[in-house]
Amino acid sequence: MMGPFEDRTALVTGAGRGIGRAVAVELARAGARTVLMARSQDELAESARLVRAAGGEALVVQGDLSRPDRISDLLGGARDDLGDVDVLVNNAGVVWPLGPSAAVDAAEWAAAIDVNLVSAATLTFALLPGMLSRKWGRIVNVSSGVAERPTSMIGANAYATAKAALEAHTVNLAAEVAGSGVTVNAFRPGRVDTAMQTWIRERDPEEIGAALHEQFTDYHRAGLISPEESARSLVSRLPGDATGQTWKASDPV
Ligand SMILES: NC(=O)c1ccc[n+]([C@@H]2O[C@H](COP(=O)([O-])OP(=O)(O)OC[C@H]3O[C@@H](n4cnc5c(N)ncnc54)[C@H](OP(=O)(O)O)[C@@H]3O)[C@@H](O)[C@H]2O)c1
């Protein structure tokens, strides 16, 4: 049976583990050829193995998204293997720095904005012209509930700022390219059992703030959803023509 993404190429950032890995596998099941981007080579290799085990094709592009100025070189270097990218899932993200803003390292704050926001927009700007000329494309920016309620993660100022801006970028760009065949949507993945959640729980409560630490410990106690469940929710919405929306994993498709 033909999947909805047969003959399409999908680039997923942060595809080495967690939600990104699960999205890549789900896209492969839907017929897409996948391009997996992150830094950790061993994790990317395991994701590629899982994509192939699901019957898909995987190309690994190792790259550091904390350097948006290097993205065009990164894409240029892989251009021959990449071909046309039809689907872009900007999923790579970091939750650091956590803790009181009076003690934050401003360079670290800016680096987090680069990974969570500037690199996502930079990749989009690089791949959008091709999508527009082919009159078809799907861009999804992985956000967070913190964009809707910035006070829900006190001590995560860079993360809250980046995700809110990422959603504004999404809706603004969607309106700009409306009717072109290219859709741009945001996705809030829910509370997902990944390394990011583990990393927060493993921080010293005194370092990140006791309330934030307790909050994420409580989320874990109450039960997190699996990356696969979250990924299915994202990918099942992707073939449609909806644009400028914020999809939530918890909403019925
Ligand atoms: N888990 C949740 O409950 C939750 C909730 C709301 C939103 N989200 C969002 O969902 C997305 C995925 O999160 P996750 O929980 O799956 O996190 P994760 O398990 O920590 O995975 C993050 C991925 O991003 C990559 N990444 C991080 N920094 C990078 C960099 N500088 N360059 C390239 N790749 C980089 C990581 O690979 P390398 O480190 O190897 O580069 C990894 O593959 C993020 O945008 C996150 O904000 C997650």
**pLDDT (tens digit per residue) in 117-150:** 999 999 999 999 999 999 999 999 999 999 999 9
- Number of the ligand 1 atom closest to the C-alpha atom of 219: 3
Share of the chain above pLDDT 90, in %: 94
**pLDDT for the residue 1:** 53
| Mean pLDDT, the chain, integer | 96
Q: Is the CB of 21 under 6 A from ligand 1?
A: no
Lowest mean pLDDT among 3-7, 182-186, 236-240: 3-7
* pLDDT above 70 as % of the chain: 100
Q: What is the pLDDT of residue 252?
A: 78
Q: Which ligand 1 atom is at minimum distance from the Cα of 92?
A: 24
Closest atom of ligand 1 to 224 CA is 3
pLDDT of amino acid 2: 74
Sorted by sequence, the CB contacts under 8 Å of residue 64 that are 6+ apart come out as: 39, 70
Catalytic residues: 143, 159, 163
CA–CA separation, 28 vs 52, rounded Å?
8
pLDDT for residue 194 is more than 80: yes
Distance CA 74, CA 171 (A): 27
One DSSP character per residue, 37-92 reads EES-HHHHHHHHHHHHHTT-EEEEEE--TT-GGGHHHHHHHHHHHH----EEEE--
Ligand 1 touching residue 38 (CB < 6 A): yes
Domains and CATH numbers, the chain: 9-190 (3.40.50.720)
pLDDT score at 158? 98
Mutate to test the pocket of ligand 1, among 39, 41, 216 (most ligand atoms within 8 A of CB): 39
Q: Is the shortest distance between the CB of 194 and ligand 1 below 6 Å?
A: yes
* pLDDT value of residue 141: 98
Q: What does the pLDDT look like over 215-241, one tens digit per residue?
A: 999 999 999 999 999 999 999 999 999
CB 70 within 8 A of CB 46: no
Q: What is the average pLDDT across 14-33?
A: 98
Cα 196 vs. chain centroid, distance in angstroms? 13
